[in-house]
Structure 1
Amino acid sequence: MTLSPKVAQSSKRDAPGRKATKKHTNSPFGGMNVTSAGIRHHGPRRSRQQELRTSRGRGKDKEDQKPRTFKALKMQRSLASVSYGKRSAVKSKISEVDAFDNFPLLPVVKDSISSQALKGLDIILPTPIQRVAIPSLLGIENGRANFKSSKKKDTEQFLLAAETGSGKTLAYLLPTIDAIKRAEIKDTERVREEVVAREEKSKRAVFELESPPLHEPHPTTGRPRAIILLPTSELVAQTGSLVKSFAHTVKYRSALISSSFSGVVIRNRLFSPSGIDILVSTPHLLASIAESDPNILSRVTHLIIDEADSLLDRSFSPLTAAIIEKASPSLRQLIFCSATIPRSLDNHLRSRFPDIRRLVTPNLHAIPRRVQLGVVDVERDPYRGNKDLACADSVWSIGRAATEHFDDGAKERVGVKRILVFVNQREKTAELAAYLVSKGIDAMALNRDAGGARQGDVLAAFTGVGAEASGGEEKGGTEEGKVTVSPVYSEKDRKGPRATNRTLPNTKVLVTTDLGSRGIDTLAVRHVILYDVPHTTIDFIHRLGRTGRMGRRGRGIVLVGRHDRKDVVKEVREGMFKGQALI
């Protein structure tokens, strides 16, 4: 084979002054022998600095040159936005209510707030969500409540959305109890009228024989007036205890059922001969009972879907929808309650309940500014990528602040520090708890593998006012978001868990997943450690919402490793500092 003599000659298309022909790229071989990319025929890519210079020369607005906020969070945008105009309107509405006396509740219900729900507090004032929700749920119009319920009206639909620890449970429970007591009063009057009419009839018919009385069960047996649905048995126990505390003074019949109880206990509580007014349950259990006995939903007037973002997701939505459908004939109020409004929940409510009234607070989707968030870079010394060591070191730095040292070397226990550590994987809870125990820390693991009784015992030490940790704020703040802690362990402690003689007796640690971040009233917790960076903004809000509840201060620490989203953590911190709502 020999080369053609025309090889060295330039082609006619490369001749000077001749326009280059466009190469066809539609064929399978159109991209061969190409020396420049020419993607979409846009030419070479320009740098950001060149684009800014060009935009300045063309006189573009300065707003286009500024970096957009929440750039990283927009990649995982999952929360529905609430306009600032609506937030301002809610603020002006909140300012008009300053006490529980402004609500037209029954006197017995109003007196039970201080004696049962908010026992031990000197100053009792309604929270923002309570100021917004209670008047609407009571049906206050033009300053007066409308209690005319003689005729059947359409079902009222509400969405209660407020930040974590803002008293949403009390916001829907007070109007529900008030409606039950008013309905009970009307039922008593109707029964009294029937008795009087029966006596008058017997007086007129002197010679007629009366049939012997039948021993029938109570008409409300297995037919509650109000149902509260919650996703987990832990939340059922927590909300059920508050419902039962009101029953001591308001006098109504309540029951809580979940998978933590046996079948005999569930049957005795639900079908009690004395009747039932309020039922607290999980969707799985109630749906299975209603499948065999639909009569339990025949008298429901108030249905509360608490933690609605969970109960309307993929796993719970079919069961929740079935319960709503079966209870709809007698339903008067359908209440959804949540700390966040994900876009999936927002779209579902708009399509399924277009007439729903949204009752939100001005600080929705914003982590309270009283919660301080610090960042620990795990890749730096002395940790060098060991997150377990960084977690143990953070716990020790918090625990040492709970003990005062005197001149003679003696120690006085000031209070017990309760710390929640959140991980993303269930298997990591037991592993991390064992590591912390090996470092002299009183740590426990909470996950779905533990039984119901075990979960209740573990959470009992971290919930309730009685377990509230005392002691002042920690000294030594943060700089640029970095937590300044002095290393507790030496370099040889990095390799793994090792028995130690040092102990931290004034600190309790609970390692858990999102199981402990939803709705649990961790009033005693002042510190939260995020071992893993949360996947979404919703998880950030729920996990950091375990501290700083009811106006108290709190502190969160996030451990950031090499493969974690540092940009997301940075934007969350900036949003918290500015008091902005996350997206």
Structure 2
Amino acid sequence: MNQKNADLRREPRAPSRAQTSRTLRGRERPQKERETYHALKMHNALTQISYRQRTTIKKEISRTDSFDGFPLLQVIKESVVSQALAGMVDVVPTPIQRLAIPVLLGNETRAARRRSSSSQKNEMDQFLLAAETGSGKTLAYMLPVLDAVKRAEAFDAEEEAKKKAQEMEFRKNANYVAPPPLSNAPHSTTGRPRAIILLPTSELVSQVGKLTKLLSHKVKFRSALISSAYSGKVIRNRLFAPTGIDVLISTPHLLASISESDPNILSRVSHLIIDEADSLLDRSFMPSTSTVIDKTTPSLKQLILCSATIPRSLDSYFCKRFPNMRRLVTPKLHTIPRRVKLSVVDAEKRPYHGNKNLACADTIWSIGKAAAEHAGDTADVRHILVFVNEREKTQEVAEYLISKGIEAVALSRDTPEQRQAETLSAFTTREKESVEIVAKEIAEMPSGPNYMPSSSRSSVPSTPPPKRHLPNTKVLVTTDLGSRGIDTLAVRHVVLYDVPHSTIDFIHRLGRTGRMGRRGRGIVLVGKHDRRDVVREVQEGMFNGQALI
């Protein structure tokens, strides 16, 4: 409008940079400029590990090929083969164990020692153990901690022997009068553990407690596990046992509340392990976890954090709170093992027509029938995990599967604590007889928000008896409650009823299968409103062996 001359025949102006970028979207955009994982960027981003770092870690891992190469006490080495990993033919340390155990024991290179000595000498050592699910992180931090506990115990015994020798010399004096003996004097370590392991749920407390008990048969140390699943009397008797305590396994909320009334229980802690750190350092657990860290800092020698995923928010928190932390990361962090195969079932197509419950039941039936045809009557019990996003959905899906003749149990936060432990014990065990015994015990319990197997369907009058039954198959319908840390070695199949909200949930849910080098299979049910592009990119990343973001 401000031009003096019309100049209608002049060439059009060149398009702006913004207009050019808009025209290059989609198919018109060059292949080189396309960003990988475009859909996954809508999800929670994970911290990236560079290729150079992964290559360096692989070289460090290749240096050790057996537990005998670690400078552990001989009794601890023997307990690994005879107790912790009993029944395994080839006992070989995993990558995270090869990487973490020498460092936690202090067996480092000269360069690493110079770096550590350059920091403040009075500051505790801080470590981050990050490895994929099912990689043996529990044993990676447990063995060095037990080694430190036993060495400290031997040192205390030597100091006690010196004191007794000095006392005997002092008693030789003619004027010495011995004090009266104390009756029922408690042990010096009563209520004062040397090492504490923090876990987010009572199920994980029970699982790690079983491993410590196995190791204690040969190593000879005193351990106790406390959680909300136990009564106050049991917790008090375990924590303040007259024989003393060396290793305590607990949840942050419970331990923080106990320390408020008795701060002395955290006055002797030399090793603090925060397992599932991405959960224990989120909004719900952060106050309690920070309280335990602050109260144990004066006596703490090592702070060990473990996680299978490192979100960017957690990574930034580490940089601020623990700037001197040493990170021990495996090359396959944030990757789903290639031995896990992921397939997709479209619930919108025939014969499901949008009925996800029918698609889930049909998928489980196909798995169970294939196993029965392959092994015949001698087939082992097939354990299948079904993950949903909402805890209210667990009851609905379990009830539908029961109506279709599938032995299913629901597990969520609404399930009582005692029943949660018994349900997981019935599902994770690999012995068929023990599964049936625990299932019978659960069936005899009063009805609640959980759904029982076929033997207890009489307590659910709304569910009609099925016309057929799928044998040798057990299904657990759960939320993310069953996706973290639970030992699911017997699980070969995972069904994702709902597409996970984030890549973190993808990694943890699919990580319930294919553990300890075994093969596994994941099946995603895709509905009308699910993100198909996210599922497609996860499939591509798994096929290429790439880390998710």
Q: What TM-score comes out, normalization by structure 1 length?
A: 0.83
Q: 1:93 maps to which residue? A: 60
User: Is residue 103 of structure 2 the alignment partner of residue 136 of structure 1?
Assistant: yes
Specify the alignment match of 1:30 in structure 2: none
* 1:374 aligned onto 2:343: yes
Superposed displacement of residue 84, structure 1 = 1.0
- Change beyond 3 A, Cα 1:294–1:214: same
Question: Does the 8 A contact of 1:405 with 1:412 survive in 2?
Answer: no
Matched residue of 2:65: which SS?
coil
Q: Kindly provide the amino acid, as one letter, of the partner of residue 103 in structure 1.
A: F
In structure 2, distance between residues paired with 1:195 and 1:361: 48
Change (3 A) 1:47 1:340: same
Q: Is the 8 A contact 1:402 1:413 kept in 2?
A: no
Residue 63 of structure 1, CA deviation: 2.6
Shift of residue 17 of structure 1?
A: 3.1
Take 1:51 and 1:221, find their aligned partners in 2: how far apart are those partners? 69
Q: Equivalences for 1:505-520 in 2 at 5 Å?
A: 505-520=471-486
- What secondary structure is seen at the aligned counterpart in 1 of 2:177? coil
* Bigger shift: residues 87-96 or 67-76: 67-76
**Does 2:188 match 1:212?**
no
Choose which of 425, 449, 453 in structure 1 pairs with 2:418.
453
Q: Give 1:154 shift.
A: 2.4
How many aligned positions are there? 509
Are the equivalent residues in 1 in contact too, given 2:44–2:504 (CA < 8 A)? no
2:305 match: secondary structure: strand
Match of residue 306 from structure 2: 337
Return closer, same or farther for 1:49/1:171 CA change in 2, 3 Å cut-off.
Answer: closer
Q: Which has the higher helix share?
A: 2
Quick one: distance in 1 between partners of 2:409 and 2:168? Answer: 65
Is the contact made by 1:138 and 1:145 (CA closer than 8 Å) also made in structure 2? no
Look up the match of 1:288: 257
Q: What SS is found at the alignment partner of 1:401?
A: helix
Distance 1:211 1:429, change over 3 A: same
Match for residue 393 of structure 2 among 428, 444, 452? 428
CA drift at 1:75: 2.1
Other-structure match for 2:537: 571
Letter in 2 for 1:175: P
Q: Which of 502, 508, 512 is equivalent to 1:546?
A: 512
**Shift, 1:45, TM fit:** 8.8
CA displacement 1:79-114 (0-9 Å, x = unmatched): 111111000000011111100000000011110001
Amino acid at match of 1:421: V
The aligned counterpart of 1:414 is 379
* Structure 1 match to 2:455: none
Q: CA deviation at 1:48?
A: 3.3
Q: 2:145 aligns with which of 164, 176, 180?
A: 176
* Aligned equivalents of 1:175, 1:51: Cα separation in 2: 54
Shift of 1:414: 1.4
Kept in 1: contact 2:199–2:251 (CA 8 A): yes
Rounded Cα–Cα distance in structure 1 between residues aligned with 2:26 and 2:269: 66
What letter corresponds to residue 501 of structure 1 in structure 2? K
Q: Determine if contact 2:412/2:478 at 8 Å carries over to the other structure.
A: yes
- In 1, the alpha carbon distance for the partners of 2:411 and 2:374 equals 33
- 1:123 matched to 2:90? The reply is yes
| Whole-Å separation in 2 of the counterparts to 1:173 and 1:115 | 16
Deviation at 1:457, TM superposition (A): 1.4
Given that 1:224 and 1:279 are in contact with CA atoms closer than 8 Å, whether structure 2 keeps it comes out as: yes
Structure 1 pair 198–395 and aligned structure 2 pair: CA distance change class (3 A): same
**Take 1:417 and 1:42, find their aligned partners in 2: how far apart are those partners?**
56
Structure 1 segments of 4+ aligned residues over 4 angstroms from their partners: 13-16, 39-46, 49-53, 143-146, 464-469, 496-499
After superposition, residues 173-572 of structure 1 pair within 5 angstroms as 173-203=142-172, 205-215=173-183, 216-404=185-373, 412-464=377-429, 466=431, 499-572=465-538
Identity across the alignment (%): 63
**Cα distance, 1:44 vs. partner?**
9.9
44, 48, 52: which one aligns with 2:24: 48
8 Å Cα contact 1:396-1:504 kept in structure 2? yes
Distance in 1, matches of 2:374 and 2:266, equals 61
Per the TM alignment, residue 144 of structure 1 is displaced from its structure 2 partner at its CA by 13
Unaligned regions of 5+ residues in structure 1, if any? 1-12, 21-38, 56-61, 147-151, 470-495
Counterpart residue identity of residue 533, structure 1: V
CA 249–162 in structure 1, closer or farther in 2 if over 3 Å, else same: same
* Structure number with bigger Rg: 1
Contact 2:256–2:291 (CA<8 Å) still a contact in 1?
Answer: yes
- Equivalent pair of 2:130/2:306 in contact (CA under 8 Å): yes
Give the 3 Å change call, closer, same or farther, for CA 254–44 of structure 1 in structure 2. Answer: closer
Give 1:3's aligned residue: none
Moved more, 91-100 or 208-217: 208-217
CA distance in 2, matches of 1:569, 1:133: 33
CA shift for structure 1 position 302: 0.2
Compute the displacement of 1:403 (Å): 1.2
Q: Secondary structure at the match of 2:521?
A: strand
Query: How far apart, in 1, do the equivalents of 2:108 and 2:141 lie?
Result: 18
By how many angstroms is 1:187 displaced? 0.3
Matched to 1:435, the amino acid is Y
Contact 1:366 1:580 in 2 (8 A): yes
Query: Matches of 1:105 and 1:253 in 2, distance apart?
Result: 19
Quick one: which amino acid aligns to residue 74 of structure 2?
P
Please say if residues 418 and 526 of structure 1, whose CA atoms lie closer than 8 Å, have aligned partners that are also in contact.
Answer: yes
Q: Mark the CA change 1:378 to 1:19 in structure 2 (over 3 Å): closer, same or farther.
A: same
> How far apart in 1 are the matches of 2:302 and 2:21?
58
Displacement of 1:450: 1.4
Q: CA deviation at 1:462?
A: 2.7
Counterpart residue number, 2:444: none
Cα deviation 1:419-477 (Å, max 9, x = unaligned): 000000001101110000000000000111112221111111332454699xxxxxxxx
CA shift at 1:413, angstroms?
A: 3.8
Output the TM-score relative to the length of structure 2. Answer: 0.88
C-alpha contact 1:153 1:332 (8 A) present in aligned 2: no
Structure 1 19/285 Cα, relative in aligned 2: closer, same or farther at 3 Å? farther
Tell me which amino acid in the other structure corresponds to 2:174.
V
| CA root-mean-square deviation | 2.7
Flag the 1:223–1:43 CA change in 2: closer, same or farther, 3 A: closer
Distance 1:387 1:404 in 2: 26
Moved more, 460-469 or 229-238: 460-469
Change in 2 beyond 3 A, CA 1:41/1:375:
closer
Report how far residue 51 of structure 1 moved.
9.7
Structure 1 counterpart of 2:118: none
Preserved CA contact (<8 Å) 1:416 1:507: yes
Amino acid at match of 1:225: R
Q: Identify unmatched segments of 5+ residues in structure 2.
A: 9-14, 114-120, 435-461
